Amino acid sequence: MFKILLLIFAGIVAIGLLVIIFFIGSLIYSAFGMGYDKINKSLSDLYYSKDNKVYFVRGGNFFELGPTLIEDADLASLKVLSANYALDMNNVYFQSEKLPFADTSSFSALDSYYAKDNNHVYYFGKPISDIDPNTFELIGTSYFSKDKNNVLYLGNKINNAILNRP
């Protein structure tokens, strides 16, 4: 009786180990074995290339979320600017979305969520209306920011905020 219980227990342990090995192998394969290469991994683990195409992987999670093809992105000229922003010779991207109003020649990422060009300031890839890009700056962390007339919290204007001006 003891030998039978020992064999059953050993079988359960062996099956459990196989499941764990399979799961770990799947994770490794999904991130490394599918032929995707990180683009500028020092700035972002979200932009990848494969077969001369550019992909965005939300959260860097191939296993559950998979890659999203960025249509018309030019791999040869693509520059990753931050974790979420990239640009090529024709377009600016926030994650996998093109920013249709962005000016590629003057665009810069300020952090992972804020960016600006000569005409707009962007938060999470969306232009913020009536903000002056020439005077816009982050205040400390990316929670607060300001321009010459406004104070913002997480990309939203704070009504009746008082700016400390020297």
Question: pLDDT, tens digit, for every residue of 48-81?
Answer: 999 999 999 988 887 778 899 999 999 999 999 9
CB within 8 Å of 31: residues ≥ 6 apart: 60, 62, 63
pLDDT at 30: 55
Strands 47-50 and 37-38: antiparallel
Average confidence (pLDDT) over 20-34: 65
Beta carbons within 10 angstroms of residue 58's beta carbon: 14
Domain boundaries, the chain: 1-33, 34-157
Average pLDDT value for the chain: 88
pLDDT (0 to 100) of residue 32: 56
Report percent pLDDT > 70 for the chain: 92
Q: Are 30 and 45 in contact (CB under 8 A)?
A: no
* Residue of higher predicted confidence among 137 and 161: 137
pLDDT of residue 33: 45
**pLDDT-above-90 percentage for the chain:** 61
Q: 100: closest CA among 131, 66, 125?
A: 125
Q: Model-level pTM?
A: 0.78
3-state per-residue secondary structure call for 93-151? EECCEECCCCCCCCCEECCCCEEECCCCEEECCEEECCCCCCCCEEECCCCEEECCCCE
